[in-house]
Amino acid sequence: MRISRLATRAAILSACLASASTGVIAAEAPPAPTPGQVTAAIQQSEAERLKQLEQTDPAAAERARSPLVAGIMASIKAHTVKGCLPASGGEIVCIVGVKAGRRDGYRALAFGGNPEPWVLVRREEPAISGPDAGQATASMREFARGQLKTQTDAQAVAELTEMATSLTVKQLDECHLSHDSGNVRCSAVISTGGKPDQRVTGFAFALEAGGWRFVPREQ
């Protein structure tokens, strides 16, 4: 994906995408569970669900104990915790890589704020809002500054400098979690160098322990 789809100036980073690794902007990061603790929380949540089914729907509880379903549940294992964000009511929401049988992908899980032990607070997947406009702006400018350290082409330097000093994300919305990469993709309204505002799609940000990182090439 060329950066021309993400910003007004097409040549900003066309020679830099493959080496991108900077641009992490701090977000308020709560303590995060380990993959092992996430796995334990998922298994505990399922055990509690079965207990409830035994009282409310014994037939459904029996089906849930079938070898096929039980095998899938036993295979569930979290392998990655990309990062966590504070949520309402003292909860935290984490982006987690989970494998179950042949399926492997990222999802958002909500936990109670007390880590002793970590407990899933609901079964439905919570929404991930992504960075705010200020964090997105700072992350993209930081990315451009990092690329300036190694770029020698005069035109690219000029465009990276413009991005690093004047690019502004005015609005970030329609964010959703990619279950394949674990990155958060958003639409945005941006301006660069005093030019008219432009709505663009496909911006991606990775939530890491240190905060949000701009991802110019979806991974």
Q: DSSP states of 169-213 as a string?
A: EEEEEEEEE-TTT--EEEEEEEE-TTPPPEEEEEEEEEEETTEEE
170 neighbors 186 (Cβ within 8 angstroms)? no
Give the contacts of 116 (CB within 8 A, at least 6 positions apart): none
Total domains in the fold of the chain:
2
In the predicted structure, residue 141 carries a pLDDT above the cut 90: yes
**Distance, CA of 195 to chain centre:** 30
**pLDDT, position 46:** 86
136 occurs within a structural domain: yes
Q: Are residues 8 and 71 in the same domain?
A: no
Q: What's the rounded Cα separation, in Å, for the pair 27 and 29?
A: 6
Judge if pTM exceeds 0.75: yes
Q: Are residues 143 and 100 in the same domain?
A: no
In the predicted structure, residue 130 carries a pLDDT above the cut 80: yes
Q: Which residue range is the domain that position 148 belongs to?
A: 3-27+131-214
Q: Which of 46, 81, 111 corresponds to the end of one domain?
A: 111
124 occurs within a structural domain: no
Q: Are residues 81 and 39 in the same domain?
A: yes
Q: What's the rounded Cα separation, in Å, for the pair 88 and 12?
A: 38
Q: Are residues 98 and 166 in the same domain?
A: no
Low-confidence winner among 12-16, 19-23, 73-77, 208-212 (lowest mean pLDDT): 12-16
Q: Are residues 22 and 72 in the same domain?
A: no
- Which one is predicted more confidently, 154 or 53? 154
Tokens of 161: 């400098």
- The per-residue pLDDT of the chain, averaged, comes to 82
Q: Which of 66, 81, 111 corresponds to the end of one domain?
A: 111
Q: Are residues 49 and 84 in the same domain?
A: yes
120 occurs within a structural domain: no
Low-confidence winner among 111-125, 130-144, 148-162 (lowest mean pLDDT): 111-125
Q: Are residues 105 and 155 in the same domain?
A: no
